[in-house]
Amino acid sequence: METVIRNMQIDDYEAALALWQRTAGMGLSAADEKQEIEKFLKKNSTLCFAAFNGEALIGTILCGEDGRRGYLYHLAVDEAYRKTGIGKRLVEYSLKALKETGIQKCHLFVIADNKTGISFWDHIGWELRKDIEVMSMNL
């Protein structure tokens, strides 16, 4: 069966959350509750994608932008479908959508000990920045 990639919708949430929960290295928080993801998808409806094999959700990518830079989150591919190009395709879909909105640079966040994730991003041409640190504050 051919993998189909389409814009992610809130109806995909339960399957996406289950995928995220079983994906090693995925950092989840209150920002990943359904109502928060629904707001994110509404704001970024053309940038977020889900991959399906038949009815089964097998991959996701969340993507947003601030008018200047793009940001990727929650790239996840079901373990049974890894190393088949689905992750790379999901990234390409989001980057193409960002370019179409005029965004010229994209960043992403990877948990520091997620060696599998860092290896994937390196493999598809992303650069690990060592000149910046991320700081956060819960509001």
CATH number at residue 26: 3.40.630.30
Domain that residue 118 falls in: 3-123
Task: Report the pLDDT averaged over residues 71-92.
Answer: 97
Q: DSSP secondary structure string, 38-83?
A: HHHHHHTTTT-EEEEETTEEEEEEEEEE-SS-EEEEEEEE-GGGTT
Q: How many domains does the chain have?
A: 1
Q: How large is the C-alpha radius of gyration of the chain?
A: 14
State yes or no: pLDDT of 1 exceeds 90. no
> Does some domain include residue 134?
no
Element spanning 5, H or E: strand 3-7
Task: Report the pLDDT averaged over residues 63-79.
Answer: 97
pLDDT at 137: 84
> Does some domain include residue 93?
yes
> Does some domain include residue 98?
yes
State yes or no: pLDDT of 7 exceeds 80. yes
Residues 73 and 60: their CA atoms lie apart, in Å, by 9
> Does some domain include residue 42?
yes
End-to-end CA distance of the chain, in Å? Answer: 45
pLDDT at 61: 98
- pTM of the shown model: 0.93
pLDDT at 49: 98
pLDDT tens digits for 91-126? Answer: 999 999 999 999 999 999 999 999 999 999 999 999
Task: Report the pLDDT averaged over residues 53-78.
Answer: 97
